[in-house]
Amino acid sequence: LEYTGIKMEVVSWSDAAAKQVEGKVGARKVFLVAATLRPETMYGQTNCFVGTAIKYGVFAINDKEAFVCTYRSARNMAFQGITAERGNVEQLLEIDGADIVGTKIKAPFALNSEVYVLPMENVLPTKGTGVVTSVPSDSPDDFQTLTDLRKKPEFYGIKAEWAAIDPVAVIATPTYGEMTAPAVVKQLKIQSQKDTKQLAEAKEIAYKEGFYNGKMLVGEFKGESVQDAKPKVRAKMIEAALAFAYAEPENLVISRSS
């Protein structure tokens, strides 16, 4: 499976992360790296998600850059020509997802250029990088999680202001309009991020509708179909060194059950 790895540079660490990262990364810029199948939606990022029970690492990619992601994905990257030395995984430190929450990061290509890291219950440690960039306009999981967080910020241990950015219209679909994910969430009567079965169905619907019938509302390829714009946005992000190709190996089933 071919993902796009989105490089979200750390602007300011949460207090808990700052203490752990200090003195460990040298002169490197640090990026949270999110794996996405929808690079054309990056204009609408409003935050980023990590799993609070997931262990992440900060990995040296070369002398200038370090990535925050799961060990598993760092290892995959080391065999895909992303790291300076093939096969070598250099972990600078380990950090709990819970401690990364509240970190402010850059959101490449997004209309909101800086966003916060927030907690999501349904992040799988066995998929992508374990970091998920959030586009609530077009991803039902993201919209529902953001809605949950806004209803009960203290319950989730976040500051309300971290979840303050509203969904941004980036793609129009004939059936659902300019906010596909919120419309599908409403149609399927989804109440919380715990409604995982309905959310899987909503994701399927939103993927299909966006890919086959979506039109870009913003960005350099405004007016073009999602099908045409998707590879172009991806290429632009890679050219700008804000993203890279990241492939998931075929042992997904094995790693899921282990």
Q: How far is the CB of 172 from ligand ZZB (least distance, A)?
A: 13
Burial of 135 (0-12, 13-18, 19+ CB in 10 A): buried
132 contributes a contact to ligand ZZB by CB under 6 A = yes
Q: Are 24 and 58 in contact (CB under 8 A)?
A: yes
Given 21, 31, 38, 229, the residue binding ligand ZZB (CB under 6 A): 38
128 contributes a contact to ligand ZZB by CB under 6 A = yes
Residue number with CB closer to ligand ZZB (19 or 208): 208
The rounded Cα 15 to chain-centroid distance in angstroms is 22
57 contributes a contact to ligand ZZB by CB under 6 A = no
165 contributes a contact to ligand ZZB by CB under 6 A = no
69 contributes a contact to ligand ZZB by CB under 6 A = no
Cα separation, 254 vs 213, whole angstroms: 35
Site string for ligand ZZB, 16-35 (x = CB under 6 A): -------------------x
Stretch that binds ligand ZZB, among 88-96, 106-114, 132-140, 213-221 (CB under 6 A): 132-140
Residue number with CB closer to ligand ZZB (83 or 144): 144
Rg (C-alpha) for the chain, rounded Å, is: 17
Q: How far is the CB of 257 from ligand ZZB (least distance, A)?
A: 16
Cα separation, 151 vs 171, whole angstroms: 26
Which helix H or strand E contains 123, and what residues bound it? none
Q: Which residues pair with 177 in a beta bridge?
A: 173
Which helix H or strand E contains 16, and what residues bound it? helix 15-21
Place of tokens 């979506």: 214
Residue number with CB closer to ligand ZZB (47 or 133): 133
158 contributes a contact to ligand ZZB by CB under 6 A = no
233 contributes a contact to ligand ZZB by CB under 6 A = no
